[in-house]
Amino acid sequence: MPPEVDILTPPRTVATRLAQWEEQADAVVPTKAAGANLLVATWNLRAFGDLTKAWKTGEGISPKQNFADIHAIAAVIQRFDVVAVQEVRGNLRALRYLLKVLGEHWAFILTDVTLGKDSNNERLAFLFDTYRVKPSGLACELVVPLEQDAG
């Protein structure tokens, strides 16, 4: 069995790219300011579900998303207070690793997986920084596949 990869400590090449990514994010996203702003975002992370457990995804390997991608996504999300992430799949591996990278003060609320042949097994995830946001705990929705009988 291969040794467990430390996902919180990127290799030097990944850390260098992440530093550049974070510098660019700093230039376009306002800084969090207690009592002065609430930063909300939405992001469609295409097919955000499974994850290749490596820092680089090899040619022809699926899924394409890997630990470096998770760190890049976290570098953006951590700049906001609440982020609605679209296209989270039924498989939550990538989301679980994202939350590890974000840290213990991040939490989430998920919708049900949308059913039906055209649903792609997707759901919506609301990620939030618990230092800045305290949800009430109430969430609900109704998901009815179009092909289900009305009766």
The count of structural domains within the chain is 1
Integer Cα distance of 112 and 125 in angstroms: 9
The reply to whether 149 falls in a domain is no
The reply to whether 119 falls in a domain is yes
Reported as a pLDDT band with limits 50, 70 and 90, residue 25 is very high
Integer Cα distance of 101 and 78 in angstroms: 10
The reply to whether 58 falls in a domain is yes
The reply to whether 111 falls in a domain is yes
Bridge-partner residues for 89, per DSSP? Answer: 122
For residue range 68-112, what is the model confidence (pLDDT) as tens digits? 999 999 999 999 999 999 999 988 999 999 999 999 999 999 887
Q: How far is CA 70 from CA 25, 31, 51, 149, in A?
A: 15, 21, 9, 40
Tallying the residues shown for the chain, one arrives at: 151
Find the domain containing 100 and state its range.
12-129
The reply to whether 109 falls in a domain is yes
Integer Cα distance of 104 and 87 in angstroms: 23
Tokens (6 digits) for 99: 């939350």
The reply to whether 144 falls in a domain is no
Average pLDDT over all residues of the chain: 87
Q: Cβ–Cβ contacts within 10 Å for residue 75, how many?
A: 19
Reported as a pLDDT band with limits 50, 70 and 90, residue 132 is very high
Tell me the whole-structure pTM to 2 decimals.
0.85
**N-to-C CA span, the chain:** 52
The reply to whether 90 falls in a domain is yes
The reply to whether 35 falls in a domain is yes
